[in-house]
Structure 1
Amino acid sequence: MYRISDSGIKNKAGVGQGPTTMVKFIQEVRDNLKGTPLSKIPVGHVDTWSAWGNKSNKAVIDEVDFVGTNLFPYYEDDKGNAISNATAVFNYALNSTKSAAGKKPIWITETGWPLTGPDFGQAKASLDNAREFWNTIGCTLFGRTNVWWYELHDSNPDNAAKFGITKDLSTTPQFNLTCSANSGAPASINNKPTSVGNISTVTLVNSLVVGLSMLFAVAAWAV
């Protein structure tokens, strides 16, 4: 829905669809899952926080089981998006989504900070900033909500900003993934030797659930 918004069109985000079409897709997914072992799986839609805040898209919120939102302070160049202000920008976008979603659960389906790439407003892509974003944002989310980190390995050739916990899908991350003991993150990633494996029980299981839901949405789109 973001893609057909004024901002999406300005940023050449690509082909999008309006709320009527999205509601139809969501209903098709549920119809196709009836009578299968996956009939009770939550079905949602993923979009930008600004799309959810657009009242013209409320019909989609009413139809979904969860609201999936992508939150990237790095790209919020009109909100003072330096890494030092990333928490404030992130919380603004998240709270805006929560306000629009009402009682529907929020799934953070993408968030992260690039390690390399161009400056975007006040935001600078760097390993140190990616680590800082993990510590100040990620470690306050893990174990509290469904969150899908962007991403394990960045293979998108069209994106000038490069994200990724690893360069080569190895178990050695590009920065320390340990959360501090007072962060509130589960013990599985607190004060442990750094490896990608340490985050599996926190993020990858949640990612699987989100991924399945989005997979069905894509399948419905294809139909």
Structure 2
Amino acid sequence: MVAAVGQDDLAQEFVQFALEAGALRFGEFTTKAGRLSPYFFNTGQFDDGVKLGRLAQFYARRLLASGIEFDMLFGPAYKGITLAAAVAIELARLGRNVPYAYNRKEAKDHGEGGTLVGAPVRGRVVIVDDVITDGGAKREARDIILAAGAQPVAVAISMDRQEKATSEGRDVDYSGVQFVERQLGLQVCTIAKLSDLLQYLQHQAGGALGEHHARVLAYRERYGVA
């Protein structure tokens, strides 16, 4: 299968990869906000060495092309830990060797102690995670980095659902990504967005995947943000 050609070829390539890896599926799925979504994206399905290595390639390529200036990576527990490590390995392979660190959910009272593991958190830091839902977890990661005396500059994620976040059980007029950008002051570096998925499906018209375009588009029109 050849990826659809679009304005963002890397995003189109990633959508195809996510489909092939089983990380992107279609059907009926209940989201954290209680919405019935026609698609589901789960980075937990990048579950072997080959898939994880290729996922890291997408992160690294997007980060290097973004122009974001950074000194290290930070992986928030739990999914961010594996992602930050994998991306650090890929960046080193590409000639950009940077340290990385991550946090524990519970502080250790023995050994090195504390909640931070890995390289000292310093300089300009990129938070590496899978997605942004409401931005709360990224606020926590930002605060950890600030408390360590470093400067959080960006968040790198794999997929932006481009849909309204919720607050106290109600929809709001901004997405989790927009919250991170506007309220936390962090740049968001995304491999692909829901609009990229729609573009990919549009190019599959007449094929097995083309039938999902209308349902995903209707979901975007109901819950999407600009």
TM above 0.5: no
TM-score by length of 1: 0.33
Structure with the higher helix share, 1 or 2: 1
More strand by share: 2
